[in-house]
């Protein structure tokens, strides 16, 4: 896992070099990069579901019931 992390860091460094951004990146660029990482992380399970033929997101009945219980008591 450490080697994968190192590889990802090297890849990010290469990309920064290609687009001419110095490291550490300015805050706006760094935050957009973090957002991209989060979106990419969330895209993997969705893509796996779509490949398997399942809907992109599903809500279990217990989650629906919990939400409706709160609205009745609140």
Q: By the 8 A CB rule, do 44 and 52 touch?
A: no
Residue 64: its pLDDT value, please?
54
For the segment 31-50, what is each residue's pLDDT rounded down to a tens digit?
Answer: 888 898 899 889 988 888 88
Q: DSSP class of residue 52?
A: H
The pTM (predicted TM-score) of the whole model is 0.50
Match 């957002």 to its residue by tokens.
35
Count of domains for the chain: 1
Give the residue numbers spanning the domain of 53: 2-73
């Amino acid at each position: 896992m450490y080697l994968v992390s190192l590889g990802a860091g090297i890849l990010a460094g290469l990309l920064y070099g290609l687009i001419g951004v110095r490291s550490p990146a300015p805050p706006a660029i760094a935050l957009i990069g973090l957002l991209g990482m989060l979106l990419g992380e969330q895209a993997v399970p969705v893509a796996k579901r779509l490949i398997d033929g399942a809907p992109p997101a599903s809500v279990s009945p217990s989650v629906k019931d919990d939400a409706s219980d709160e609205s009745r008591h609140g």
